[in-house]
Amino acid sequence: MDNISQLKKRIDERDFKISVIGLGYVGLPLALAFSQEGFPVSGLDKDPRKVKALNEGKSYVDDIPSLQVEYSLKKGFLATTRETEALAGADAVFICVPTPLTKTKEPDLSYVVSAGKSISRFLKLGELVVLVSTTYPGTTEEVLQPLLEKGGRKAGSHFFLAFSPERVDPGNKKFNIRNTPKVVGGVTPACAELASFLLSTIVERIVPVSSPRVAEMTKLLENTYRVVNISLVNELAQLSRRMKVDIWEVIEAASTKPYGFTPFYPGPGMGGHCIPIDPFYLSWKARAFDFNLRFVELAGEINDSMPYFVVDLVAEALNHEGKPLKGSKVLILGASYKQDISDLRESPALKIIPLLEQREARVYYCDPLVPTLELGGGTMKSLSLSGKPWEEADCVLLLTAHKVFPYKEIASKSKLIVDTRNAFKGIEGNIWRL
Ligand SMILES: NC(=O)c1ccc[n+]([C@@H]2O[C@H](COP(=O)([O-])OP(=O)(O)OC[C@H]3O[C@@H](n4cnc5c(N)ncnc54)[C@H](O)[C@@H]3O)[C@@H](O)[C@H]2O)c1
């Protein structure tokens, strides 16, 4: 039996130790899926609070109920901050660490490099390494592979290396890790074969591609497509306001076209760890090829302008009521970046609150999923829903349309509402829509 067949047999028998580096929104569901499939799994995270929570059976990821963590703990899942516990003897390691941007919008691969160095220290013959973190085309082969090939080891013979991006959509009840097709690109055909075989134990459909670069670019195409289309509709929303056309009605009408149109919706700006960041990985890499990725830069510019547009809209709406923004009580409804999840990363609220404060508005917020938020060195506390804070506000600014908000009641008791998500659709009230 050749090497690959032996490894596949061990995968079939679940005699294959899996390690996941980075137990966040991406790594935790992946680790638990393997554990629930019967594999011995250890997860490594450098944040001791996360490790402690997991070992107490508590989840901190919105889509993962604590019950799932408890179940995996019983099956032997181990979360740890210690590399020796997680990486020594691993048969496969998945890298799910952050890939943020620096302040100057350049890729920060320091987490990937640090994970690669750790794996390299423990790498054994026949081990599979899969990079999952979103990144620019070339990262797996140009950054990770050299780290793992230190000491004369060779990808494809001594160890296996692949890239397989994550497509998780936080809060999506229909698509999860199992029924979302997974793209896999290996450094060699054997790398792709082994990675695909292992992932097919937890994912219904594997989409093999010819190289890690194709897999890396696929993920960036998906996210760039979203960024460009969201920015297009945000620009049209700005124009529509000036032309006194209702952009929401326009989108609804356009959506009746049975082909060739996919609706995207405007909003107060983009948030999360993916959409506002990933395309800039591509435009940064494009520059190394003497190529200026204008769509991405333009999209970034338009989306960055949305918080300013929203603040001007609040000022205009208040002005219409005979009130200045200065001194007015503005209640932000929803602070997280997305409906029904608690993730605050890159949330437009974090830009809009300081902009309103700079213009001397008195800003409060209410988000049952975000009890506190850190801003400008201070901590803001969410007002409670039961206190009906909208009744006191001069203007309610809806940024995130959580299902828990009592929209009818808010509309009937608020003096003025600025709705950036069309959340008050069909409800009567003094409502200004984006
Ligand atoms: N969140 C999403 O919806 C999503 C979707 C698709 C792809 N991605 C991509 O997946 C990657 C991870 O994103 P995330 O949202 O899970 O991030 P996250 O911040 O939720 O989780 C990353 C975890 O990695 C840990 N970590 C960092 N460096 C480490 C190291 N050297 N060793 C051990 N642990 C380390 C952090 O403590 C953190 O818990 C990113 O590249 C992101 O772009 C995210």
Q: What is the mean pLDDT of the chain?
A: 96
Residues tagged active-site: 274
- Give every CB contact of residue 244 below 8 A, 6+ residues apart in sequence: none
Q: How many CB atoms lie within 10 A of CB 212?
A: 30
pLDDT, average across residues 207-231: 97
Cα-to-centroid distance, 133 and ligand 1 (Å):
7
134 lines ligand 1 (CB under 6 A): yes
Q: 3-state DSSP call for residue 93?
A: strand
Cα-to-centroid distance, 21 and ligand 1 (Å):
9
80 lines ligand 1 (CB under 6 A): no
Query: Cα–Cα distances in Å, from 316 out to 234, 236, 237, 319, 355?
Result: 18, 19, 16, 5, 15
Ordered strands of the 41-44 beta sheet: 78-80, 41-44, 18-21, 92-95, 128-131, 160-163, 182-186, 206-209
96 lines ligand 1 (CB under 6 A): yes
338 lines ligand 1 (CB under 6 A): no
337 lines ligand 1 (CB under 6 A): no
What pLDDT score was predicted for residue 287? 94
Cα-to-centroid distance, 168 and ligand 1 (Å):
12
Which residue's alpha carbon is at the smallest distance from atom 13 of ligand 1? 98
What pLDDT score was predicted for residue 390? 98
Residue 48 has pLDDT above 90, yes or no: yes
- Give every CB contact of residue 1 below 8 A, 6+ residues apart in sequence: 9
Residue 47 has pLDDT above 90, yes or no: yes
* Best probe residue, ligand 1, of 59, 97, 133 (max atoms within 8 Å of C-beta): 97
Ligand 1 atom at shortest distance from the alpha carbon of 170: 3
Q: pTM value?
A: 0.93
Which residue's alpha carbon is at the smallest distance from atom 15 of ligand 1? 25
Number of residues assigned to the chain: 434
* Best probe residue, ligand 1, of 108, 273, 338, 342 (max atoms within 8 Å of C-beta): 273
Residue 110 has pLDDT above 50, yes or no: yes
Cα-to-centroid distance, 98 and ligand 1 (Å):
4
Around 378, how many Cα atoms within 13 Å sit in the side-chain half-sphere?
4
- Per the CB < 8 A criterion, the answer to whether 139 and 112 are in contact is yes
pLDDT, average across residues 257-280: 93
C-alpha–C-alpha distance, residues 366 and 224, integer Å: 31
Domains of the chain and any CATH numbers? 3-210 (3.40.50.720), 230-433 (3.40.50.720)
- Amino acid 238 reads Q
- With a pLDDT cut of 70, the percent of the chain lying above it is 100
pLDDT (tens digit, 9 = 90+) per residue, 285-320?
Answer: 999 999 999 999 999 999 999 999 999 999 999 999
Ligand 1 atom at shortest distance from the alpha carbon of 26: 16
- The enclosing H or E element of 229 equals helix 212-243
Ligand 1 atom at shortest distance from the alpha carbon of 167: 6
114 lines ligand 1 (CB under 6 A): yes
- Per the CB < 8 A criterion, the answer to whether 156 and 191 are in contact is yes
pLDDT (tens digit, 9 = 90+) per residue, 340-396?
Answer: 999 999 999 999 999 999 999 999 999 999 999 999 889 999 999 999 999 999 999
Q: Which of residues 276 and 38 earns the better pLDDT score?
A: 38
Cα-to-centroid distance, 296 and ligand 1 (Å):
23
- Amino acid 284 reads W
26 lines ligand 1 (CB under 6 A): yes
Which residue's alpha carbon is at the smallest distance from atom 34 of ligand 1? 45
- Give every CB contact of residue 268 below 8 A, 6+ residues apart in sequence: 306, 307, 310, 348, 349, 352, 399, 420, 421, 434
pLDDT, average across residues 140-149: 98
**35: which 2 tokens?**
């554990």
- Per the CB < 8 A criterion, the answer to whether 153 and 123 are in contact is yes
pLDDT (tens digit, 9 = 90+) per residue, 220-266?
Answer: 999 999 999 999 999 999 999 999 999 999 999 999 999 999 999 99
Cα-to-centroid distance, 95 and ligand 1 (Å):
9
pLDDT, average across residues 64-85: 96
- With a pLDDT cut of 90, the percent of the chain lying above it is 94
How far does the chain reach from its first CA to its final CA, in angstroms?
Answer: 64
**121 φ, ψ to 5°?**
-60, -35
What pLDDT score was predicted for residue 2? 63
Residue 1 has pLDDT above 60, yes or no: no
Q: Is 139 exposed, middle or buried (0-12, 13-18, 19+ CB in 10 A)?
A: buried
Which residue's alpha carbon is at the smallest distance from atom 43 of ligand 1? 134
166 lines ligand 1 (CB under 6 A): yes
C-alpha–C-alpha distance, residues 422 and 98, integer Å: 32
87 lines ligand 1 (CB under 6 A): no
27 lines ligand 1 (CB under 6 A): yes
**365: which 2 tokens?**
């917020």
98 lines ligand 1 (CB under 6 A): yes
pLDDT (tens digit, 9 = 90+) per residue, 164-203?
Answer: 999 988 888 899 999 999 999 999 999 999 999 999 999 9
